[in-house]
Amino acid sequence: MQEFCSFSLNSLKSWLEQSGEKSFRAPQIFDWIYNKGATSFEEMTNLSKPLREKLAASFRFPALKLIRTLESEDGETIKYLWELADGQRVESVLIMSGTRRTVCVSSQVGCPARCAFCASGREGLIRNLSTAEIVEQVLHIDRTLKVKGERVSHIVYMGMGEPMENYDAVMESIYLFNDPNAFHISQRRITVSTVGVVEGIERLAKEELAVNLVLSLHAPNQHLRKKIIPYARKYALEEILMAMDRYALETKRDITYEYTLLAGINDRSQHAEELTRLLSGKQCTVNLIPYNPVEGLNLRRPTKEAIEGFRDILVSAGITTTWRYTKGKDIAAACGQLAVQKREPLALVSPV
Ligand code: SAH
């Protein structure tokens, strides 16, 4: 059975035509799913009964089952744990900041990048998510917000997984997030974060939609980067940076370099100085993210002084630098804390 939310409006139109139905039904069905909150095809009362039955027999919806939610103490961050049809589990995070409602989505179960500081890739890649499994993370969260008169406003591909290693499904989900018949989220409000997959960056530059792109840099040279990110062996840092420059040029989008600060590893002033040389002349922002402790990892977050010292070196060199305040720490929903979930319930997570 095919998953409904993997279908674009056009592919649904083709499916309807091939099934002997009228293609104008496609936007009506999209409206039920993406705007009216339908939980089954049966509810779609402006469709004939035989069509509703045909849809129900042909499509799986929903593809995700909500297992638990967990809300941070300040109420601004909610973590969602989903179960997929094959029993695998993934997480998403809703971050509420002012009027922004950002969903941090997962693109894979596990991750092939295996960054030393990140919880998601500790067991490597388990499998890619389908388009529907990505789209529904946002759909179900959007439905809970709608009850309060709110909608999801921003999407970041910064949950579990490497989006560029699941390129087609990620791109199809981006087109659905942007589609006025579905979520209608502007391309400027969608951000893809990558560990640095050169072919992926090049392909993304040629897409009709131009989203914001973030490179997880974490080191000012290839030698240190390879130690922190085993996956970094695949591409020379120079090549990745060139692909990022071309992306910025072709799409006119913002480029951000993320740098997770790890005490004693990449947080010294010599690293900051090398970073200013590496990025000199580039139109970009550096986002410094102090390491969030992950259970079982022998790494430390730098002191406040070390973080500020690092930032000051970048700022003095004229590099726009932000220091990400990580939300949701008390519920392990901060950066890189989304782990592959075992089937046993986690002590931390409470039932919905
Ligand atoms: N694979 C993609 C998307 C995952 S998001 C990528 O590598 O960009 C990854 C981001 O989460 C990284 O840039 C890093 O900034 C952040 N991150 C992961 N684990 C972290 C941790 N323990 N502490 C702080 N930031 C972390």
Residue 193 CA: nearest ligand 1 atom is 8
- Cα-based angle 120, 123, 129 (whole degrees, multiple of 5): 60
Q: What is the pLDDT of residues 191-232, one digit of tens each?
A: 999 999 999 999 999 999 999 999 999 999 999 999 999 999
The CATH number of the structural domain formed by 2-60 is 1.10.150.530
User: How far, in Å, are 171, 212, 315 from residue 157 at the CA level?
Assistant: 11, 10, 27
- In the chain, the percentage of residues whose pLDDT exceeds 70 is 94
Quick check: 3 and 55 in contact, CB under 8 A?
no
Q: How far is the CA of 3 from the centre of ligand 1 (A)?
A: 29
Q: How far is the CA of 335 from the centre of ligand 1 (A)?
A: 6
- Cα-based angle 214, 216, 221 (whole degrees, multiple of 5): 125
pLDDT category of residue 348 using cuts at 50, 70 and 90: very low
Which are the contacts of 85, defined by CB distance < 8 A and separation ≥ 6?
60, 63
Q: What is the pLDDT of residues 146-159, one digit of tens each?
A: 999 999 999 999 99
Looking at domain 65-331, its CATH class is alpha beta
The residue to mutate among 103, 193, 197, having the most atoms of ligand 1 within 8 angstroms of its beta carbon, is 193
Catalytic residues: 91, 335
Q: How far is the CA of 336 from the centre of ligand 1 (A)?
A: 5
The reply to whether 2-60 and 65-331 are identical in fold is no
What is the dihedral angle through the alpha carbons of 161, 173, 146, 71, rounded to the nearest 10 degrees?
0
Where are the domains positioned within the chain?
2-60, 65-331
Give the pairing type, strands 212-216 and 190-194: parallel
Residue 195 CA: nearest ligand 1 atom is 7
